[in-house]
Amino acid sequence: MSAAVSPDIRPITADVAVGADAPANAEFRELVALRNAVEADTMGTSALNLSVEELLPALTDTALRRYLHVGAWVGGELVGRGLVILPSDEGSAVARTLVDVLPAHRGAGIGSALLAEVERMAAAEGRAVLQVDVAHRASEGGERLASPTGFGDVPAADPGARFLLAHGYRLEQVLRVSRLDLDVTMPEIPSVEDEFALHAWVGATPPPWLEDVAVLKTAMSTAVPSGELTVSETVWTAGDVQDRDARQRRRGRVLLTVVAEHRPSGRLVGITEIEVPADDRPAFQEDTLVLPEHRGHALGLRLKVRNLHELRRHAPGTSTVLTFNAEENRPMLTVNEAMGFRAMAHEGSWEKHAR
């Protein structure tokens, strides 16, 4: 155990006041560098690093959520950061939080000081339910902490797991991070003739589909398995979809979307999205949803495989796709395993109720 240090903890502003397209301020640049260093240390790869330009639009306020950032400085160096995300969902008691400390500065009480500050900030916003999603070192064997869902576990010795347990958080769910190497595997598009038509687009949502995409994104907010975690519905409007599209453009990352239209009604009933960076770093499989009344037609697989082919066409240099799924989400894992995805790490979803 190191000697305790008293970091200087104060807010960091993401540069929205001077326009979302303005260059980020110096402190936000340091915060991004710190975020990347911690991520690379935990995941054992820098493939998940993001640039300031990619992160800024994703960490500034929208109509759907607000972001509060704090930094911890020791001797003028930024050594830790805290984040509080406040969903705007009606009546939400939830604050999503995160604390990162540079590996060289751990074990000196900096993480605990930052956590106390983000918990204080959440309480000041009237949020009594604290939720943390955090990657845990990929490892096998050793003492394990089992998910109460009955599916998946995380290493009990992981510093993040120890830290959260010590501060009163409960592990509620384990997510599997999986990767697909496209040079190895390129699944065939199943050819089926039925009442569904697939449509694909690159970038912004075509105006005729904005309302339907908003309905699907709203359904997605409560559709994924979430164990005993506190969940509220995020109601998307067509304007929120357009705002998301504009941010995506500013981030320099392109969204490839495939949707399923139910021909008899003309409505969209399924969607899948892949986010692609401008270079050869991994692409991210984002939301996939088929509305419950239209399940059982292999639409999940058809949507996702079609989008992999769109990915190949629009970003031929991309060789890896990453995806995050709840360990108990068997239908989605079955689709992914059939496509060739393999587990590479785990993420824990933790929750604490303030007293």
Ligand X SMILES: CC(C)(COP(=O)(O)OP(=O)(O)OC[C@H]1O[C@@H](n2cnc3c(N)ncnc32)[C@H](O)[C@@H]1OP(=O)(O)O)[C@@H](O)C(=O)NCCC(=O)NCCS
Interacting stretch for ligand X, rule CB under 6 A, among 11-19, 61-69, 98-106, 280-288?
98-106
Task: Establish if 130 lies at the interface with ligand X (CB under 6 A).
Answer: no
Taking the complex as a whole, the smallest distance from the CB of residue 81 to ligand X amounts, in Å, to 9
CB atoms within 10 A of CB 3: 7
Residue 110: CB minimum distance to ligand X, A: 4
Smaller CB separation from ligand X, 131 or 248:
131
Identify the residue among 32, 59, 95, 110 touching ligand X (CB under 6 A).
Answer: 110
Q: Which is nearer to ligand X, 110 or 291 (CB)?
A: 110
CB of 127 to ligand X, least distance (A): 16
Among 20, 66, 109, 287, which residue sits at the site for ligand X (rule: CB under 6 A)? 109
* 164 makes contact with ligand X (CB under 6 A): yes
Dihedral of alpha carbons 84, 89, 91, 93, sign = negative
* CB distance 171 to 326 below 8 Å: no
- How far out from the chain centre does Cα 284 lie? 10
Cα separation, 15 vs 22, in Å, equals: 7
Number of helices followed by number of strands (H, E) in the chain: 8, 14
Between 14 and 110, whose beta carbon lies closer to ligand X?
110
Show the site string, 28-67: x = touches ligand X by CB under 6 A, - = not: ----------x---x-------------------------
Q: Which of 99, 255, 283, 290 binds ligand X (CB under 6 A)?
A: 99
* CB closer to ligand X out of 38 and 213: 38
Asked if 9 is part of the footprint of ligand X (rule: CB under 6 A), the reply reads no
Least gap, CB of 245 to ligand X (angstroms): 30
> Which residue, 1 or 17, has its beta carbon nearer to ligand X?
1
Question: Is residue 132 near ligand X by the rule CB under 6 A?
Answer: yes
Closest approach of ligand X to the CB of residue 78, in Å: 13
DSSP 322: E
* Sole window of 141-149, 158-166, 182-190, 290-298 interacting with ligand X (rule: CB under 6 A): 158-166
- The distance from CA 113 to its chain's CA centroid, rounded to whole angstroms, is 25
Q: Which residues contact 19 (CB under 8 A, 6 or more apart)?
A: none
Q: Could you say whether residue 104 binds ligand X (CB under 6 A)?
A: no
87 binds ligand X, rule: CB under 6 A: no
CB of 1 to ligand X, least distance (A): 4
Choice between 313 and 353, CB closer to ligand X: 353
Beta strand pairing call for 65-74 and 77-87:
antiparallel
| Segment lying near ligand X (by CB under 6 A), choices 102-110, 121-129, 204-212, 215-223 | 102-110
The site string for ligand X over 182-221 (x = CB under 6 A, - otherwise) reads ----------------------------------------
**What residues contact 295, with CB distance under 8 A and at least 6 apart?**
none
DSSP 72-140: EEETTEEEEEEEEEEE--TT--EEEEEEEE-GGGTTSSHHHHHHHHHHHHHHHTT--EEEEEEEE----
| β-pairing verdict for 267-276 and 254-262 | antiparallel
Contact between 155 and ligand X (CB under 6 A)?
Answer: no
- Cβ atoms 97, 119 nearer than 8 A: yes
**What b-and-e string marks burial along 69-108, b requiring 16 or more CB atoms within 10 Å of the CB?**
bbbbbbeeebbbbbbbbbbebeebbbbbbbbbbbeebeeb
- 8 Å CB contact between 99 and 111: yes
User: How does DSSP classify residue 278?
Assistant: S
Q: Which of 7, 57, 87, 111 binds ligand X (CB under 6 A)?
A: 111
Q: Which residues bind ligand X (CB under 6 A)?
A: 1-2, 4, 38, 42, 98-101, 106-112, 132, 134, 159-160, 162-164, 166
